[in-house]
Chains A and B, each alone.
Chain A
Amino acid sequence: DAEITQSPRHKITETGRQVTLACHQTWNHNNMFWYRQDLGHGLRLIHYSYGVQDTNKGEVSDGYSVSRSNTEDLPLTLESAASSQTSVYFCASSEAGAHEQYFGPGTRLTVT
């Protein structure tokens, strides 16, 4: 069955370190999204991509970057982790032209 996976599921890192969170989907969806979920804020969009080599900034993109070298993967990189980036991160994907998104299981990141 097609699915969307995230790894690792849990990560603890130190302030200042570079961290990369992986997202892999087998739906063959063109669109991929990264969100962070924080209490009282719901889900906020970090970055998104509409296809290979396309990336766009979302609402809360500062301190994060993404790259899209193939259809299946959209890794999220925290260049220099900060305590404010402690959160649960969700990856999602959707078909081109569709609005409903399908979510991965999430990665809980703690920055100490």
Chain B
Amino acid sequence: AQSVTQLGSHVSVSEGALVLLRCNYSSSVPPYLFWYVQYPNQGLQLLLKYTTGATLVKGINGFEAEFKKSETSFHLTKPSAHMSDAAEYFCAVSSTGATNKLIFGTGTLLAVQP
């Protein structure tokens, strides 16, 4: 069975500081990995995805994530936080099989302090 663990339900950074949101996954088959962002009172928006190929994935709004198979991790980073980055972030895993289902982590709420 697949699962996702997001370490830290709340993360607070200063504007301009590095953002690091942690995600570890469990999967018995090669995974597809995703990060979604949810702004208040909105649906989820895809930030970036890893399927195959390059392990460093770049997404929208300056975010990127690196797939590390040996560590079963897919941490999300951004070099310099903006106030507009304040949101909830969800990591998700899907199997490379035909089912297309996503398993989500419990989310990390990012606060950006001025």
Write the residues of chain A forming the contact surface with B, with a CB cutoff of 8 angstroms.
31, 33, 35, 40-45, 48, 50, 58, 90, 92, 94, 97-106
Contact = CB atoms under 8 A, between A and B. Distances in A.
Is chain B's binding surface mostly helix, strand, loop or mixed?
loop
B106 A41 contact: yes
* A-B pairs, 5 with minimum CB distance: A103-B43, A42-B106, A99-B94, A42-B104, A103-B44
Contacts of A33: 101-102
Interface of B: 9, 32, 34, 36, 41-46, 49, 51, 90, 94, 98, 100-102, 104-107
B45 A103 contact: yes
Contact of A99 (B32, B43, B90): B32
Contacts of B104: 35, 42-44
Contacts of B9: 40
Contact of B42 (A50, A92, A106): A106
A30 B101 CA distance: 13
A98 B110 CA distance: 28
A79 to B, nearest CB: 24
Most chain B CB within 10 A, of A31, A41, A94, A100, is at A100
Contact of B102 (A40, A99, A104): A99
A90 B44 contact: yes
A100 B49 contact: yes
Contacts of B42: 105-106
Contact of A40 (B34, B46, B49, B106): B106
B60 to A, nearest CB: 13
A100 B102 CA distance: 8
A94 B105 CA distance: 19
B100 to A, nearest CB: 5
A40 B108 CA distance: 10
A40 B49 CA distance: 23
A1 to B, nearest CB: 15
